């Protein structure tokens, strides 16, 4: 964990939920994370997987914490799909305001999906023109050599 990041931020909604100051419907608790029902579900059974340590978003999450929390995803996915009799499931992280993040304590959404439900997915996709794909590939790969 980064020394500058507090484990608990008293101004953070999810820290307060994890501390029990605000009630939540918990479906799983481990030493690393708590899974709760989203209070405004896309579909019934919409679960938020929330690391216990406060980090603003995915990019801030230490690799080891991210790895331990992410190991819970297959088990949660199986349980949600079985309990909700879902046809499928989306796992989503909204990372940053531009991506729709509203609670700045990083978390995974697990959204059960049903054939013909009202969710608008997939999102619109474009295409690379000219050398844009190679330029983008090189830029990301370069960043990865220094992180």
Using CB under 6 A as the criterion, which residues of the chain lie in contact with ligand 5GP when the complex forms?
13, 22, 24, 36-40, 48, 94, 100-103
Which residues in 7-33 are b (16+ Cβ under 10 Å) and which e?
Answer: eebeebebbbbbeeeeebeebeeeebb
Residue of 54, 55, 107, 109 marked active site: 107
Q: Is the Cβ of residue 83 or residue 134 nearer to ligand 5GP in the bound state? A: 83
The alpha carbon of 124 is separated from its chain's Cα centroid by a whole number of angstroms, namely: 21
Binding site for Zn ion (CB under 5 A): 9, 12, 14-15, 54, 105
- Residue 100 near which of ligand 5GP, Zn ion, none (CB within 5-8 Å, type-dependent): ligand 5GP
- Burial of 51 per CB tally in 10 Å (0-12, 13-18, 19+): buried
Assess whether 107 carries a catalytic annotation: yes
Angle (CA) 77-57-37 rounded to 5° is 40
Q: Of 118 and 142, which has the nearer Cβ to ligand 5GP?
A: 118
- We find the least distance from the C-beta atom of residue 105 to Zn ion, in angstroms, to be 3
**CB 5 → ligand 5GP: shortest distance, Å?**
18
Closest CA relative to residue 50, chosen from 63, 69, 68? 69
Pick from ligand 5GP, Zn ion, none: which does 105 bind, CB < 5 to 8 A by kind? Zn ion
Give which of ligand 5GP, Zn ion, none residue 43 binds (C-beta under 5 to 8 Å, depending on kind): none
Whether the Cβ atoms of residue 56 and residue 106 lie closer than 8 Å to each other:
yes
- 10 Å CB burial of residue 79 (0-12, 13-18, 19+) is middle
From Zn ion, ligand 5GP, none, which one binds at residue 39 (CB under 5 to 8 Å depending on kind)?
ligand 5GP
Question: Which residues are annotated as catalytic?
Answer: 107
């Amino acid at each position: 964990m980064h020394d500058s990041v507090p484990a608990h931020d008293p101004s953070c909604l999810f820290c307060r939920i994890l501390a029990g100051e605000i009630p939540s419907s918990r479906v799983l608790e481990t030493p690393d994370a708590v899974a709760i029902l989203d209070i405004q579900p896309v579909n019934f059974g919409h679960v938020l997987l929330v690391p216990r340590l406060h980090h603003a978003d995915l990019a801030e999450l230490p690799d080891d914490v991210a790895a331990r929390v992410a190991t819970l995803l297959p088990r949660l996915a199986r349980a949600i799909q079985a309990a909700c009799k879902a046809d499928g499931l989306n796992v989503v992280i909204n990372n940053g305001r531009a991506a729709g993040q509203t609670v700045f304590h990083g978390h995974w959404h697990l959204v059960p999906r049903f054939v013909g439900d009202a969710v608008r997915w997939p999102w619109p996709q474009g295409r690379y023109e000219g050398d844009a794909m190679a330029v983008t590939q090189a830029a990301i790969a370069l960043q990865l050599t220094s992180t």
